[in-house]
Amino acid sequence: MAVEAHTAYEASKLARERYAEYYANHHDMNVAGLRFFSVYQGFAGNEEHKGEYANTVAQFADAIARGEAPELFGDGTQTRDFTHVEDVARACELAADHELTGVYNVGTQEAYSFNEMVDLINDALGTDIDPEYVECPFDGYVHDTMADYSAFHDATGWEPQIGFEEGVQRVCRPYLEDAPEMN
């Protein structure tokens, strides 16, 4: 589909891809732009320093593990293609190994709602904490995302290996190990 920039963030990403295209075309370089979809990993140790800018899976798992309600924009039906960081790391290695040039999506081709994410976290932690629904504080919020990684698969054979349910279990596991009373 045609790519449009509606926010400064989107414009910066599009500009990066155009610069890469320029270098590939005019300096005989292999430059691949990988579009990562909602990359996540655990909070403690890797995302904690980002605070409110950490990935939502890590933020919500941390909040729920502490007995707090995560805040969801709108009604929580917005969806994301959540991609585990280990799958992203493998994608980067393959892009380099195959000396790719071009722009490729890296995601799972599956979308989960934020409500479903909260349910999975509650299931993994053995908790029952409802989210707090709040109004989105800014314009340009994207309601749904989902990658089509077929071009990247065709070029490298890459497929995601960590499903979202397993990924949520991995994110939640340290909370269960650190707090035996939650078992």
pLDDT of residue 87: 98
Q: CA nearest 82: which of 113, 61, 60? A: 113
Q: Residue type for 46, please?
A: N
pLDDT of residue 182: 43
Show the low-confidence residues of the chain (pLDDT under 50).
182-183
Q: Looking at the domain assignment, is residue 183 inside a domain?
A: no
> How far are the Cα atoms of 4, 25, 40, 90 from residue 162, in angstroms, in the given order?
30, 35, 11, 11
- In the residue annotation, 13 being an active-site residue is answered as no
Among 9, 19, 22, 141, the one annotated catalytic: 9
Please report, to the nearest 10 degrees, the dihedral formed by the alpha carbons of residues 92, 113, 75, 174 taken in order.
-70
Q: Looking at the domain assignment, is residue 92 inside a domain?
A: yes
Using DSSP, how many helices (H) and how many strands (E) does the chain show? 6, 8
Q: Residue 39: helix, strand or coil by DSSP?
A: strand
- In the residue annotation, 40 being an active-site residue is answered as no
Q: Looking at the domain assignment, is residue 5 inside a domain?
A: no
User: Which DSSP string do the residues of 85-100 spell out, in sequence order?
Assistant: HHHHHHHHHHHHHTT-
Given the structure tokens 């140790």, which residue do they identify?
Answer: 45
pLDDT of residue 1: 65
Q: Residue 119: helix, strand or coil by DSSP?
A: helix
Report the CATH number at residue 70.
Answer: 3.40.50.720
Classify residue 53 by its DSSP letter.
Answer: G
Q: Looking at the domain assignment, is residue 152 inside a domain?
A: yes
Report the C-alpha gap between 33 and 100 in whole angstroms: 9
Q: Looking at the domain assignment, is residue 132 inside a domain?
A: yes
Domain that residue 127 falls in: 36-178
Q: Looking at the domain assignment, is residue 4 inside a domain?
A: no
Report the C-alpha gap between 156 and 161 in whole angstroms: 14
Q: Looking at the domain assignment, is residue 122 inside a domain?
A: yes
Total tally of structural domains belonging to the chain: 1
Among 19, 23, 50, 141, the one annotated catalytic: 50
Say what the pTM is: 0.88
Given the structure tokens 């504080």, which residue do they identify?
Answer: 137
Q: CA nearest 140: which of 1, 8, 30? A: 8
Q: Looking at the domain assignment, is residue 23 inside a domain?
A: no
pLDDT of residue 160: 98
